[in-house]
Amino acid sequence: MSAEGATPGSVLDRVFLTRVLEPGDERGGRWVREYGAAEVARRLREDGPRPPGVSERRWAGLRSRAERADPHRDLAAARAADTRFVAPGDAEWPGQLDDLGDARPLGLWVRGRPSLRMWALRSVAVVGARACTEYGAHMAATLAAGLAERGWVVVSGGAYGVDGAAHRGALSAGGATAAVLACGVDRPYPRGHTGLIARIAEQGLVAGELPPGEHPTPSRFVLRNRVIAALTRGTVVVEAAHRSGSLVTARAAQRLGRHTMGVPGPATSARSAGVHELLRGDAVLVTDAAEIVELVGDMGELAPARHGPVLPTDLLEPRARQVLAALPARGAEPPAEIARRAQTTADDAVARLYELRALGYVERHGDGWKLTRQAMISSRARAGPC
């Protein structure tokens, strides 16, 4: 339901409750499921009977909040900030948020023109450390740009570090991005990202559970992450220490049956330790946008096969490569010994050796054969760096 498409009373009840109940309050969500938003709002406004299992102290705290709640004022503030209220049952409501059960948002305050439901259908979360390294920022921006170029919406939390890099990467590619905030969407946080969040609202979407003017708290950041996880097809973590909040998003995604991915960092980096822990579990290692899309996308959206450089020796026939590989790294060997190592006959080995000599890979030394400098260089290139 939205302010435009639902009955005024149903909108007001849910808007009222966003001011009274904290995001992710499962007990409050259960009341709404069992009694309906209208009845829960009525009891709070009129000090009606407490739901079973609610202490007098907790009820008094909720009643104190209810006394100060004014849904008409909140909707007016939202309109002034070009913000709409979207709730379960509305045509714009993303059905995947229902997977949160009683922790489902009462509704979302949304800035931006696109449809939240349509964008969420093809979205990926890119999250990670606030105090990220240059590597982390580069990877987040590169992954986001690649996803945007492939028509995917990049969702993150608008924070410093990886979140900001992901949003900027998507925007720089002319793509779609959405920020899910832990505060009122009319009060961008962090303040240093005011310009970035305004640009996201202009070109994409900014959403949050909290009513206008509300400020973030540590617990609201943590609970916001479940919305990012539920809203998207999968979550990619780029740099995260063991206690990083982005791991909360990843674990929520795992509980919800969403894809969970991690970008590896240096084995010695504490900022990547949390990602590596995820990768030791059920998370999938990814290094570029194509690998992410292969996992979260439709059947047939496969990442290209990875190949090293094509070397001249790759063009040899298999039996010639086998004989070439049988030659020692140093010194010369007689054809009989080369044939034994190559598991072929002496005559076949000699024939292959002459072919290889014509190509510049071997040379004859008396009764033996040895590798040329060209062949040794090619062999080192095939082996790769140590």
pLDDT by residue (tens digit) across 24-70?
999 999 999 999 999 999 999 998 899 988 999 999 999 999 999 99
Half-sphere exposure of 348 (CA within 13 A, CB side): 14
Query: Which of 194, 201, 174, 198 shows the shortest CA–CA distance to 112?
Result: 201
What was the pLDDT predicted at 311? Answer: 58
Classify residue 292 as exposed, middle or buried by CB count within 10 Å of its CB (0-12, 13-18, 19+).
buried
Split into its structural domains, the chain has a count of: 3
| 351: containing domain | 312-383
Q: For residues 91 and 129, state if they share a domain.
A: no
Q: For residues 290 and 364, state if they share a domain.
A: no
* In the predicted structure, residue 317 carries a pLDDT above the cut 90: no
316 band by pLDDT with thresholds 50, 70 and 90: confident
What was the pLDDT predicted at 365? Answer: 86
pTM summary value = 0.79
CATH code, domain with 345: 1.10.10.10
Strands (E) in 146-233, as ranges, are 153-156, 177-181, 205-208
Whether 105 maps to a domain, the answer reads no
9 band by pLDDT with thresholds 50, 70 and 90: low
Q: For residues 91 and 117, state if they share a domain.
A: no
Q: For residues 322 and 292, state if they share a domain.
A: no
pLDDT digits (tens, 9 = 90+) for 185-195: 999 899 999 99
Provide the token pair at 12.
Answer: 């007001």
